[in-house]
Structure formats: structure tokens, C-alpha cells
Amino acid sequence: MQSPRHPLDRVRMGDVGAAGFAAPADAALPDAAEAAAPSKAAAEAAAVPAKDEHTQMQELLGAYIVGGMTCNLIFLGERLGLYQGLKEHGPCTAADLAAALNLNERYVTEWLRQQASAKVISTDAEAEQFWLTPAQADVLVNEHGPDASPHFFAGMFSCIPAMSRMVEDRLVDCFKSGAGISYDEIEPAVTCGVCRELGVWARHALVPSLCALPGMRGQLEAGCQVADVGCGCGEALMAVAAAFPNCACTGFDIAEDALRVAREEASCRGLANVSFVNPGLDDRGMPDKAFQVLESICKAVAPGGAYIVGDMSSLDSHGENVHQHPLAPMLYGFSCHLCLPSGMSAPDGAALGTTGISERKMKEMLLAAGFKTAQVLPEFQHPLNRYYIANV
């Protein structure tokens, strides 16, 4: 089964970037003489001296500065409805867009120019008319409703300012003291951003992926107990609950802010077959050790049932991740901001970070917890995660 393609797949699959191109299938090939003769452009390029290491390093950091500022301005575009305005009114001038959204024209003009120069939006040769292509609208705007797209990718930008504030307010001290930060200590905007990003795949691809597993559709349609341990804002569980109303769905998490969002959203969607529980506030309490969570899950799985678990598609070693994983800078970045501080917030936390569970490690943990089998699910195609099924 082929799930909807995600923007991160461009990096993972090695699509041609700004420095290359793909020739059309019917393009005429040069004859041998032409192929052997160096072009004028190639000769000129060869004559340009190679950049020294200092220049290369400065350009690298410069690109990161540009990326950081662009992230902030994408956040503004989301918050102020600028992308939605471009979708509805474009092609339009800065004056038209500012008037439609009741914003200051001069600020809107500068924002449009930056976004167009960063290739986030489209413009004409004079940079006077601005608009979104259908693909840009899918990635930047079409999160919900009849135009909802599996390619939507702008949700995570809603937490960029909050994550930046956390660096100065909390992470400086964490690096010195070794303290952690639980998810409930993080600004709600971060919870919202993570929920919006993870929710896209859950809404568009989770149910089809589940139904591709042998016998799974029949069990879900007949009605069974479904639990999501570590459910966050509940997007995955609500997708299952909506598709299979005969199922009784329960989500478990210790992040109370995420559970609040989940309960509110389930109520708005009218899902009567889903509930959310904080086991830390339950009379039964939490297991004494982190690893006992997996053991408890194993004991709770009914005969004929299965445990499906997803985690980042890490490689077997950090050396391999750093040098070979195409998304390593992002994964380790999220780890420093969110995953590692969360893991270090519990006294017995394993502090594995975002990339700490490879395929080999996950299988070892599942088998040690009491599951009889543990294998990767090729039916689940996710841009970040690897999914496994474990049976009792």
C-alpha cells in the first residue's frame, strides 16, 4: 500500500534539489563530440577558485540564519492568516492583501517579498502580484475541511517561537544542571504544534494502513477494545474512533495539557466512543519503572490482539544517524528541545532522546517485555516513524 507522500520524503528519497535537474524523458542526447567538448559554462566554473573552509563555514551558518528567520515569518503567516488570504485573494498586491486582512500594508509588503524570495510563495517578475500555487496551498493552508491535504506541513511552525523562548528560559539551565522538562511544563503552543504535525498522517493514512493488515479491518468493524498508550492530543485514536464506531477507544498519557486538547477535540467531533485517561492520576497509579510500561501493555493485550508501536526510524548507531540519516539535524534538534528534556524529567528516565530506539533496540525491548514476536510493519509508510507489530 502506498500512503500519501509527505514533504519530508523529498529529503528522505533524495529528490533533486536546487543544485541539480532531471532531464525530460524525451530530451535529445548530445552526440559524442558535443559530450566530449567542455561547455563554456563548465570551463568558467572550473576557473573559479574553490572556496576556502572559512567561507564554506560562513555560508553554512548564513543559510541557518536565513532558515531561522524564515521559520519566524512562516509562523507570522500562519498566525495572521496571510497564507489563507493569498489562497482566497491571490494573485493580489500587498495593498489588496493588507486591506482584506486589516493589516498594515508596509509590513505585509515586506513579508510578501521575503516569502517570495525564500520560494515559499509565488510572485511575478516585478514582485508586485503574489499568490499560492495549488501545491503551496496544500502545504501551507489546507489542513482541514474539504480541501484537507495529506501534504499539509505548516502546523509545526506554530510552536517555533515557544521553542525558541524555551532555549533561553529553560535549556541553558538544563545543560548546566542535568534537569529535565516534562511536557506539562512546556508552553501549550508546543503541544499544539506537535499535534498539528502528527495529526496529518493520522487523519489521512492511519486507518488505511491498519486496514491493510490481515484480519484487522474485520476486528475493528466488529468492535474491539483499542488503547493508545502515549496518545498525546489523541489524533490517531480519534481517527480510529471515527472510522470504527463499534470500537471502545481509550487514550493514555501523562501530559495533562495534551489530554485537555484531546478531550475538547473529541467533544467537538461528537465522538462518544473515545475517552482519555491520565494514569498518573488514576487510583491504580503508574508502574514503578519506565520499562514496566511495556510489560503492562503486554499483559493487557487480549488473546488474538496485537500491540502496534511507532518510533523514529533511527539507524543502529548514533554514528550511522549522524553521518547517514538524511533527517539527523532535525531529529537531534527536536531531541535537544523536547524529547531529551522530557526523558530526563523522570527520576528513572532512560534519556534515550529522539533517536535512541533503533529497530534492533525496539525489538529487544518488546521481546524482553514478554511479547512472542516483534516485526516491522511495511504497510505503515511514515516520513519519520518506523512501525512495529508485537503479538502475545
Tell me how far CA of residue 335 lies from CA of 196, 261, 353, in angstroms. Answer: 18, 23, 5
The model's pLDDT over 232-245, given as tens digits with 9 standing for 90+, comes to: 999 999 999 999 99
E strand or H helix that includes residue 353: none
User: Mean pLDDT across the stretch 125-138?
Assistant: 98
The model's pLDDT over 134-176, given as tens digits with 9 standing for 90+, comes to: 999 999 999 999 999 999 999 999 999 999 999 999 999 999 9
Predicted confidence at residue 42, as pLDDT, reads 67
Cis before 287? omega within 30: no
Q: Is the pLDDT of residue 10 over 80?
A: no
Strand partners, 190: none
Region of 21 (left: φ > 0; alpha: ψ -120 to 50; beta: rest) is beta
Q: Is the pLDDT of residue 77 over 70?
A: yes
Q: Is the pLDDT of residue 214 over 90?
A: yes
Amino acid identity at 131: W
Cis before 91? omega within 30: yes
Give domain 215-286's CATH architecture: 3-Layer(aba) Sandwich (3.40)
What is the percent of the chain with per-residue pLDDT over 70, rounded to a whole number?
86
Predicted confidence at residue 22, as pLDDT, reads 35
Predicted confidence at residue 282, as pLDDT, reads 61
CATH number of 58-146: 1.10.10.10
User: Mean pLDDT across the stretch 88-99?
Assistant: 97
**pLDDT band for position 350 (50/70/90)?**
confident
User: Mean pLDDT across the stretch 92-106?
Assistant: 98
Q: Is the pLDDT of residue 11 over 60?
A: no
Integer Cα distance of 140 and 79 in angstroms: 12
The alpha carbon of 255 is separated from its chain's Cα centroid by a whole number of angstroms, namely 19
User: Mean pLDDT across the stretch 186-202?
Assistant: 92
CA dihedral of 107, 111, 113, 116, whole degrees rounded to 10:
-160
Region of 237 (left: φ > 0; alpha: ψ -120 to 50; beta: rest) is alpha
Q: Is the pLDDT of residue 17 over 70?
A: no
Q: Is the pLDDT of residue 23 over 60?
A: no
Q: Is the pLDDT of residue 285 over 70?
A: no
The alpha carbon of 88 is separated from its chain's Cα centroid by a whole number of angstroms, namely 26
User: Which of 162-166, 284-288, 289-293, 365-369 has the lowest average pLDDT?
Assistant: 284-288
The model's pLDDT over 303-333, given as tens digits with 9 standing for 90+, comes to: 888 999 999 999 999 999 999 999 999 999 9
Closest alpha carbon to 377 in 259, 236, 205: 205
**pLDDT band for position 30 (50/70/90)?**
very low
Q: Is the pLDDT of residue 113 over 50?
A: yes
Q: Is the pLDDT of residue 271 over 90?
A: yes
**Could you tell me if 150 and 6 are in contact, meaning their C-beta atoms sit under 8 angstroms apart?**
yes
Predicted confidence at residue 28, as pLDDT, reads 44
Q: Is the pLDDT of residue 13 over 70?
A: no
Predicted confidence at residue 290, as pLDDT, reads 54
**pLDDT band for position 289 (50/70/90)?**
low
Burial grade of 140 (CB within 10 A; 0-12, 13-18, 19 or more): buried
pTM (2 decimals)?
A: 0.82
Integer Cα distance of 255 and 191 in angstroms: 9
Structural domain spans, the chain: 58-146, 215-286
Dihedral angle sign, alpha carbons of residues 330, 332, 338, 342: positive
Predicted confidence at residue 346, as pLDDT, reads 84
List the grid coordinates of 206.
492511519
